[in-house]
C-alpha cells in the first residue's frame, strides 16, 4: 500500500486509476487511506460493507472509498389490490428519521384492516427533451411540422438503439426560436434514463439533418428531470400511480383516534389550501418521506424524489366513512439497471417480489410503482390521522424526532 500512497502523493498516480492496477477492494482501501490522511479524518467506518463492489466501481460509483450505511426498517404487511401488485407486502424503508417507519406501519395496518388499497398505473412514459435553435419563427413552425409528419422515421431511428425501448410520442414545445421536443418512451422494467438519452440523440440527429434546426443540448429541461416542474405534474413522467382506500368511521376512530370529518378538514386546509397558498407543486403531507426511503432501500435514483413529491392527496367524505387517495404523477423507478443490482438493494427488491425483468417485460417495474404508491398512501393516512388527533408532537418526542 505504501508504494501506491507514495505515488498518489507525488501525483504520478491518479485516484481514479487505482482499479487499473489493483482489485476493486484493494483500490477502495488505498483510496480511503489516502483521502483519510489528506483530510486528517478517520474513514475506517466507511470500509465496513457487505456489498460486492466489482460491479459497483464499474457502473455505480467512481473514486469509491467505501459505503455509508443507512438503517432499513420494515413497515407492513400491507394488503394491495393492484393491477400488478396483488397480495400482502412488507415495505423496506431506508431512513434515519425516527417515527417514519412507525407512521407508515400504522397506515399499512389501517389499509389492511380496510381490505387493502386499490392501486393502478394510469400511464407510463419516460421522457427526454432536446432543444433546438431555429433562425426565425417560420423556421420554428416548419421544424415542428416536419416532426409531426415524420413520426415513423423518428420512431425507427430511436428504436434502432434499443432492444427494449419503444417511442410513444413527441410533444413539441416552442418559445420563439427555441424548439423543445419532449420525447416519451416505454422503457419496460428499466427506469430508462440512459436508454432514452441514447435514443433521443439519434432522433435529434435526424431532426437536425432534415430541418436545419441546430441541436443545442440533448436535454433542454422540458423533460423535466430531477427538478420541480408543472409539466410533470400535469402530463406525468415515468409512471403515474393512483392508490386509494375506503375507511369506515370505525376504522378512523379506532386506528387514528379522530373522525372522518376532521380527517377531511385537515387534508383540505393543510394539503390543498396550504399547499396552494404556498405555491407548491405537491399537495400532500409527506409523500417524499416514503418515496425517498423506498428509493434508497431499493436502488433507485434518490434525486427523483423531486418529481415524486408532486403527489396530490384527496379525502372524500362518503356514506359511512371516507375515501382517501393519492395521485403520484411522476414515479420514476426500475427493477433492472442502475443501483438495483447492488446486493443489499437487490435483496429489498426480492423481498417485494420485483427484482429483475418482469414477465411480460415491464410488469415488475409497474408492480414496484404500485407498491410505492400504496406506501405513500399509508404514510399520508397516518400523518393526517396524527394531525387530526393532535398526536404529531407526541410521536416526535416519543420516537426521537425532536
Instruction: Please report, rounded to a whole number, the percentage of residues in the chain having pLDDT higher than 70.
Output: 97
Averaged pLDDT of the chain: 96
Per-residue confidence band for 212, with pLDDT thresholds at 50, 70 and 90: very high
- Do 197 and 205 contact (CB within 8 A), yes or no? no
Question: What's the whole-number mean pLDDT along residues 139-150?
Answer: 98
> Per the omega criterion (within 30 degrees of 0), is the bond before 78 cis?
no
394 pLDDT tier (thresholds 50, 70, 90): low
pLDDT of residue 332: 97
**For 111, how many CA atoms within 13 A lie in the half-sphere containing its CB?**
37
> What is the mean predicted confidence (pLDDT) over 187-191?
97
User: H/E element holding 92?
Assistant: strand 86-94
Q: Which residues make beta-bridge pairs with 121?
A: 241
Residues contacting residue 314 through CB under 8 Å, at least 6 positions apart? 267, 324, 325, 326, 327
All CATH 3.30.70.420 domain ranges in the chain, comma separated: 130-217
* Residue owning grid cell 420485483: 354
Instruction: Read off the pLDDT band of 372 (50, 70, 90).
Output: very high
Parts of the chain belonging to CATH 3.90.770.10: 72-124+228-398
The verdict on whether 307 is a catalytic residue reads no
Q: What tens digit of pLDDT does each residue of 244-301 get?
A: 999 999 999 999 999 999 999 999 999 999 999 999 999 999 999 999 999 999 999 9
Confidence of residue 399 (pLDDT cuts 50, 70, 90): low
- Give the confidence band of 158 by pLDDT, cuts at 50, 70, 90: very high
Q: Which three cell numbers stand for residue 74?
A: 420494515
Q: Which of 301, 316, 343, 391 is catalytic?
A: 301
pLDDT for the residue numbered 398:
58
Structure confidence at residue 397 (pLDDT): 56
Task: Flag whether pLDDT at 55 surpasses 50.
Answer: yes
Catalytic residue among 97, 153, 259, 316: 97
CA dihedral 10, 11, 13, 17 (to 10 degrees): 150
Query: How much of the chain is helix, strand and coil, in % rounded to 5?
Result: 50, 20, 30
Whether the CB-CB separation of 81 and 371 falls below 8 Å is answered with no
CATH number of 130-217: 3.30.70.420
Q: With the C-alpha atoms ordered 75, 400, 253, 288, is the resulting torsion angle positive or negative?
A: negative
Q: Say how far apart CA 109 and CA 378 lie, in whole Å.
A: 8
- C-beta separation of 283 from 376 below 8 A: no
Long-range contacts of 67-71, Cβ-Cβ distance < 8 Å, separation of 24 or more: 70/94, 70/95, 70/96, 70/296, 70/297, 71/95, 71/96
Q: What's residue 1's pLDDT?
A: 84
Task: Find the mean pLDDT for residues 71-93.
Answer: 98
Residues 72-124+228-398, CATH architecture: Alpha-Beta Complex (3.90)
Residue 25, pLDDT above cutoff 60: yes
How many CA atoms, within 13 angstroms, populate the side-chain half-sphere of residue 258? 22
- Arithmetic mean of pLDDT, 174-189: 98
Instruction: Exactly one of 139, 150, 164, 396 is catalytic; name it.
Output: 396
Residue 224 DSSP SS3: coil
Share of the chain above pLDDT 90, in %: 96
Query: Which residues lie closer than 8 Å to 376 by C-beta, 6 or more apart?
Result: 243, 284, 287, 290, 291, 311, 326, 328
pLDDT at 390: 87
How confident is the model over 293-352, as pLDDT tens digits? 999 999 999 999 999 999 999 999 999 999 999 999 999 999 999 999 999 999 999 999
Question: Is 301 known to be catalytic?
Answer: yes
The size of the chain, in residues, is 402
pLDDT tens profile 84-136: 999 999 999 999 999 999 999 999 999 999 999 999 999 999 999 999 999 99
* 396 included as an active-site residue: yes
User: How many CB atoms within 10 Å of residue 101?
Assistant: 22
Band (pLDDT 50/70/90 cuts) for residue 402 is very low
In the predicted structure, residue 142 carries a pLDDT above the cut 90? yes
Amino acid at each position: 500500500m505504501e508504494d501506491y500512497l507514495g505515488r498518489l502523493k507525488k501525483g504520478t498516480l491518479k485516484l481514479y486509476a487505482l482499479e487499473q492496477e489493483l482489485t476493486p477492494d484493494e483500490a477502495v482501501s488505498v483510496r480511503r487511506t489516502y483521502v483519510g490522511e489528506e483530510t486528517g479524518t478517520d474513514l475506517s467506518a466507511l470500509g465496513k460493507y457487505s456489498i460486492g463492489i466489482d460491479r459497483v466501481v464499474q457502473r455505480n460509483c467512481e473514486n469509491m472509498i467505501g459505503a455509508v450505511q443507512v438503517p432499513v426498517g420494515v413497515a407492513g404487511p400491507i394488503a394491495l389490490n393492484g393491477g400488478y401488485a396483488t397480495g400482502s407486502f412488507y415495505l423496506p424503508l431506508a431512513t434515519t428519521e425516527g417515527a417514519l417507519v412507525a407512521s407508515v406501519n400504522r397506515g399499512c395496518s389501517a389499509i389492511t384492516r380496510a381490505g387493502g388499497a386499490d392501486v393502478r398505473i394510469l400511464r407510463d412514459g419516460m421522457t427526454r427533451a432536446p432543444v433546438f435553435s431555429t433562425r426565425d419563427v417560420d423556421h420554428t413552425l416548419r421544424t415542428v411540422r416536419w416532426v409531426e409528419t415524420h413520426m415513423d422515421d423518428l420512431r425507427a431511428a430511436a428504436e434502432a438503439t434499443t432492444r427494449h425501448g419503444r417511442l410513444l410520442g413527441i410533444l413539441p414545445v416552442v418559445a420563439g426560436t427555441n424548439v423543445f421536443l419532449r420525447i416519451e418512451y416505454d422503457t419496460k422494467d428499466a427506469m430508462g434514463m440512459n436508454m432514452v438519452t441514447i435514443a433521443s440523440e439519434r432522433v435529434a440527429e435526424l431532426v437536425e439533418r432534415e430541418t436545419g434546426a441546430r441541436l443545442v443540448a440533448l436535454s433542454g429541461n422540458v423533460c423535466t428531470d430531477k427538478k420541480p416542474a408543472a409539466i410533470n405534474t400535469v402530463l406525468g413522467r415515468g409512471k403515474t400511480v393512483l392508490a386509494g382506500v375506503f375507511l369506515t368511521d370505525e376504522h378512523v376512530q379506532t386506528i387514528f383516534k379522530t373522525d372522518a370529518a376532521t380527517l377531511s378538514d385537515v387534508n383540505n386546509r393543510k394539503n390543498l389550501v396550504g399547499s396552494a397558498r404556498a405555491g407548491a407543486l405537491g399537495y400532500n403531507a409527506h409523500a417524499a418521506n416514503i418515496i425517498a426511503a423506498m428509493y434508497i432501500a431499493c436502488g433507485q435514483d434518490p434525486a427523483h424524489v423531486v418529481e415524486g413529491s408532486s403527489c396530490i392527496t384527496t379525502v372524500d367524505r362518503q356514506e359511512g366513512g371516507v375515501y382517501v387517495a393519492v395521485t403520484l404523477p411522476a414515479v420514476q423507478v426500475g427493477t433492472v439497471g442502475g443501483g438495483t443490482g447492488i446486493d443489499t438493494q437487490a435483496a429489498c427488491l426480492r423481498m417485494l417480489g420485483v427484482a429483475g425483468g418482469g414477465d411480460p417485460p415491464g410488469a415488475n417495474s409497474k408492480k414496484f410503482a404500485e407498491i410505492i404508491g400504496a406506501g405513500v398512501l399509508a404514510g399520508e393516512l397516518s400523518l393526517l390521522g396524527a394531525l387530526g388527533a393532535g398526536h404529531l408532537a407526541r410521536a416526535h418526542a416519543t420516537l426521537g424526532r425532536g
